[in-house]
């Protein structure tokens, strides 16, 4: 199974019913294939705000998930993520990323250093085999402690790589402290 489909399956196991998005991100089509409804917005900021509103509406019991493209997509999301951070709103932002060989090549936007000050955690899935582990950490942080956004960048080549085996070893984390 491709990395994008593995992510969609994890989101399905996490009971995500819809994702807000602004094209293009391969995870959007993979989510649709898992019966997770994509809700397209006019801009990235609106997509993040919609995910934020959903998390607030459910008081954090359901996590709003947003998908945007690499580069300008994640750059345009910054203001909305900063607002969610200042309001302690748990959202999961899964932006696409440049292929790993292009990281650090100017003028490509670097997600981790830019988003660390306004998120609980900002990182990158660097190997397709780490998808379950990284998403489990993301959902653990989203459900525990002080609420806030988590950004997990998914490079283009990680989305396209094949995950060995048919089964996806993922166990949704529970709530530790509230």
Would you state the structure tokens that stand for residue 140, as one six-digit string?
A: 């653990």
* Predicted local distance difference test score (pLDDT) of residue 152: 98
Confidence class for position 167, pLDDT limits 50, 70, 90: low
Asked if residue 70 has pLDDT above 70, the reply is yes
Q: In which band, very low, low, confident or very high, does the pLDDT at 23 lie, cut at 50, 70 and 90?
A: confident
CATH superfamily label, 3-156:
Thiamin diphosphate (ThDP)-binding fold, Pyr/PP domains (3.40.50.970)
What is the pLDDT at residue 25? 95
pLDDT score at 102: 81
Partner residues linked to 144 by β-bridges = none
- The residue that leads in pLDDT, 164 or 113, is 113
Using a 10 angstrom Cβ sphere, with 0-12 exposed, 13-18 middle and 19 or more buried, the burial of residue 174 is exposed
Tell me, what's the pLDDT at 177?
A: 55
Q: What number is the average pLDDT over the span 77-83?
A: 97
Q: Which of 36, 126, 130, 135 is nearest to 93 (CA)?
A: 135
Task: Report the chain's mean pLDDT, rounded to a whole number.
Answer: 93
Going by pLDDT thresholds of 50, 70 and 90, the confidence category of residue 166 is low
Question: Residue ranges per domain, the chain?
Answer: 3-156
Span 119-141, average pLDDT: 96
Cβ atoms within 10 Å, residue 134: 19
Nearest to 173 by CA among 131, 145, 135: 135
CB 79 within 8 Å of CB 68: no
Would you say residue 176 has pLDDT above 80?
Answer: no
User: Is 89 in contact with 116 (CB distance < 8 Å)?
Assistant: no
Beta-strand runs (E) in the chain = 18-21, 37-40, 64-68, 91-97, 121-124, 150-155
Q: What angle do CA 37, 19, 8 make, to 5 degrees?
A: 80
Confirm whether pTM is higher than 0.85: yes
């Amino acid at each position: 199974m491709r990395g994008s489909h593995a992510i969609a399956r994890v989101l399905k196991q996490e009971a995500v019913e819809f994702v807000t998005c602004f094209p293009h991100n391969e995870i959007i089509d993979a989510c649709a294939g898992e019966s997770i409804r994509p809700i397209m917005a006019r801009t990235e900021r609106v997509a993040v705000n919609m995910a934020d509103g959903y998390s607030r509406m459910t008081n954090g019991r359901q996590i709003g998930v947003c998908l945007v493209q690499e580069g300008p997509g994640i750059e345009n999301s910054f203001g909305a993520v900063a607002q969610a951070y200042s309001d302690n709103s748990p959202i999961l932002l899964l932006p696409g990323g440049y292929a790993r060989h292009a990281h650090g090549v100017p003028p490509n936007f670097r997600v981790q250093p830019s988003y660390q000050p306004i998120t609980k955690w900002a990182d990158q899935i660097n190997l397709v085999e780490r998808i379950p582990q990284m998403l489990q950490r993301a959902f653990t942080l989203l459900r525990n402690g002080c609420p806030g956004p988590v950004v997990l960048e998914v490079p283009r080549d990680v989305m396209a790589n094949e995950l060995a085996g048919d089964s996806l070893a993922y166990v949704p984390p529970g709530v530790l402290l509230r």
